[in-house]
Amino acid sequence: MKTIILPGYSPRNKDWALDVQKQMDLDHEIIVHQWKHWTKGSFSIRKELDEIRKKVGKEKINIIAKSVGTRVAMKLIPEIKDQINKVILCGIPTKFTSEVAKKIYTDGLSHISPARLICFQNTKDPFANFKTIRDFIHSVNSKIKVIEKPRTDHNYPYSEDFQKFLQD
C-alpha cells in the first residue's frame, strides 16, 4: 500500500503537500507528487499521469488530491482502478464543474465505491464554495460524502481527518 498526495497547481501547494505527508502516520509510504511545471516546462496531465503510474507501480494506493490534483485523480482512477483503495478530494475549484469536467468526474468517480471516497470543501473557498461543490458532486453521485469545513480560504490542513478516513 502507498498513499500519493496530488497537490494544487501553484508551487505554494508543495508546502501543503509536504505538511500533510509529515503529519500523517500511516504504516506505508506516503509520496508527494511534485508537478513538473514547478521546475520547468508546462503542465501536461498525460505526462503527470505517466510519472504517477511509475511511482505507484502495481501496489494498492490511496489518493489525497487538492484542487487541480482532483482532476488529475479523476483521469488516473480509470487507468488503475483495481489499485485504488481510498480517495480524498479537497478544494475542487469551480472551473472544474463545467459539462466537460462533469464527464471527467463522472467517469473517474464511477470506478470507486462512495464508501471509499470523501470530499472536503471549505465553506467559502474562493475557488468554489461548499454548496457549489456539494451540489456538483451529488449531481455525479448523491452517495458521496461531502464534508463542509469552516474556512474562507483554499487551504486544507485536515491531516487528522484524512488519516482517520484512510484508517477506517
pLDDT digit string (tens) for 34-85? Answer: 999 999 888 999 999 999 999 999 999 999 999 999 999 999 999 999 999 9
Decide: 32 and 17 in contact? Cβ < 8 Å: yes
Spatial CB neighbours of 37, under 8 Å, sequence gap ≥ 6:
43
Dump pLDDT digits (tens) for 56-66: 999 999 999 99
Query: For the domain 2-167, what is the CATH superfamily, name and number?
Result: Alpha/Beta hydrolase fold, catalytic domain (3.40.50.1820)
Residue 96 pLDDT exceeds 70: no
Helix axes 45-56, 68-79, angle to 10 degrees: 60
CA angle 87/89/92 to nearest 5° reads 155
d(CA 168, CA 150): 23
Give this prediction's pTM.
0.95
Q: Which sequence spans correspond to the domains of the chain?
A: 2-167
The string of DSSP letters for 89-148 reads EE---GGGGSHHHHHHHHHHHTTS-GGGEEEEEETT-TTS-HHHHHHHHHHH-TTSEEEE
Residue 10 carries which DSSP code? S
